[in-house]
Structure 1
């Protein structure tokens, strides 16, 4: 029943200060001119101008719904900024110095439209810190599970490069912190965002102590990585699992992947902690794939059961993508209900039950 479990949501309004605006002037440079040239075609004569998709309204939509429809068992905490040392476990010193130099400025970091505004670096430090806070609360037994509402998101950020709206890799920072400071020897990261978590994969590609499992829309969909043959390298060979999927699939395919690939992999790996890069852009309203809210509930139920069975219930969600505000807010709400003890539905292909009932209704007419 919802409310039987306690869940801590880490949220901090200071993360709203990350506000890139594609129409405002940025620091002059080759990258800025390349991006502006790319965007000019979208602005010129457009009925609706392109705006930066990863905007503060994403977090506000989630928290507004949680205030309007509270989930029993859910409590709230604030974030603290991740330290240079904590970020340095997954990002290089030169990369961090370059990012910190942009504090208080507007700039383009990458041609795939990753940008910063004056408050972005502070927000990114808080996002990574929120993921750390969530992990500490769960591992130290102060809550059963936790959900870090992070922005900017993180799973595209590589050790030396900002990509896909991401500056610091929040889930990777949290995983590295769990191993370095909290006694977790093996960490499982599940990434169900519709986009492949290229940054998380790159950071842990050769690590035998982090199992990375990623379901995503297959290439050439952004970022174009995550083929099934990408299984890790060196000592980490076999600890990267990619499940690239076609655009039209939804609940049955995702749940089949979780039950038939993730579950046995997790049982083999025996993690001390499970982290989820929880993106909500695979919901049908985001028009990238075809997941429903029941699908999110079922995926949450599976990873919660794995956490209960394998690592004393230690489960942390870290927010990634999701750009349709209705799907994002309701998706997070749905996940929190399951984390708080709610049941999740059995997943069947939409319409199968109804067709069976109608077939039974007509059966005698044709016998």
Structure 2
């Protein structure tokens, strides 16, 4: 009889720290002086005033609370929890410039918009961003050090849009990039694979490792001009990093079968060639159909997790780290994270089929004998 791995037979560490809840941007705060043309400020102000429904900042503390509430109500066997520490300036400085870090530090305790490109801070935001980056570092340390089979860092603010010198798209520090650089600089990892399955292209991560010969960046996302408008298939890196950026831009209607085909037929051979020492995943959950950007299901997230877990088992002794990125529909975000944790903990990755095929087959069988006789 075949032996099956049960949920709980794999050790999974979740990094979570309540200090990240202190990031509470206010959509109606004024912009930082000198950051925006006054005409643009006036336009945005007019939009806020005219809005029938008040626009709220989508990247809010409720995202983490929805996840932790679900995991409290429905715990996953094999999952344990730890808190994090704040990333140091030296650790952040591996991927961000000194001037950028100092500019972010200067915003500590303040509340204001930084940029028209959806990035704002509240008094606790800088502290939260340091802990978010530190959470990603803690996850990779636990996995590379052998304290955990795999790890999931529940980070906010997210990070994959932030580049070396600019905050963008709700992101202040690039958490997954900081963790990747830490794995190389402090943990002895030579080659790092970063997989990004957020629905938005990880333009910041791509920029940071654009010319790196030791980091492969693989990104599936909704195709431009969808935000941030980057990530065409022709963007492949340059210099010593040419060919190590792999972009897979997809049309809006893509769901489980298309994503599984991409991961099986593009990612798998890429990893076979690259042979990473550790795999990091920028795990956004806004590809889920309830987030209205793409059409992935919970089973789709579970199947993707199974593929990257299989690759980690084969190529890097199971060293796999998930770092939370986007996902703004609270139900699909929380349930998506839990689905990923189930597979990480030993659950069988779900089988994927075209949505509705099983139901249609049942309906065909039901009606199959209805029209056999002649019409009276």
Name the counterpart of 2:325: 320
- Alpha-carbon separation, structure 2, partners of 1:362 and 1:111: 56
Q: Which of 70, 73, 87 is the equivalent residue of 1:68?
A: 73
1:73-152 alignment, distance < 5 Å: 73-152=78-157
Q: Which of 178, 197, 205 is the equivalent residue of 1:192?
A: 197
- Alpha-carbon separation, structure 1, partners of 2:125 and 2:176: 18
- Alpha-carbon separation, structure 1, partners of 2:137 and 2:39: 35
Deviation at 1:47, TM superposition (A): 2.4
Deviations for 1:263-296, whole angstroms, at most 9, x for unmatched residues?
1101110000000000001101110001100000
Deviation at 1:351, TM superposition (A): 1.8
State the TM-score, normalized to the length of structure 1.
Answer: 0.96
- Alpha-carbon separation, structure 1, partners of 2:169 and 2:35: 19
CA RMSD for the aligned pairs? 1.6
Name the counterpart of 2:13: 8
Asked if the contact 1:42/1:50 (under 8 Å) is kept, the reply is: no
Moved more, 22-31 or 110-119: 22-31
Q: What is the DSSP-based 3-state SS (H/G/I as helix, E as strand, rest coil) of the residue aligned with 1:196?
A: coil
Q: Residues 229 and 49 of structure 1: is their aligned pair in 2 closer, same or farther, counting only changes over 3 Å?
A: same
Q: Residues 319 and 34 of structure 1: is their aligned pair in 2 closer, same or farther, counting only changes over 3 Å?
A: farther
* Aligned positions, number: 367
- Alpha-carbon separation, structure 1, partners of 2:37 and 2:11: 46
Q: Residues 123 and 315 of structure 1: is their aligned pair in 2 closer, same or farther, counting only changes over 3 Å?
A: same
Name the counterpart of 1:285: 290
- Alpha-carbon separation, structure 2, partners of 1:26 and 1:356: 56
- Alpha-carbon separation, structure 2, partners of 1:221 and 1:114: 17
Deviations for 1:328-356, whole angstroms, at most 9, x for unmatched residues?
00000110000000012111111223334
Q: Which runs of 5+ in 1 are unaligned?
A: none
Q: Which of 219, 227, 231 is the equivalent residue of 2:232?
A: 227
Q: What is the DSSP-based 3-state SS (H/G/I as helix, E as strand, rest coil) of the residue aligned with 2:50?
A: coil
- Alpha-carbon separation, structure 1, partners of 2:264 and 2:46: 44
Q: Which runs of 5+ in 2 are unaligned?
A: 1-5
Q: Which of 55, 60, 70 is the equivalent residue of 2:60?
A: 55
Q: Which of 223, 227, 239 is the equivalent residue of 2:244?
A: 239
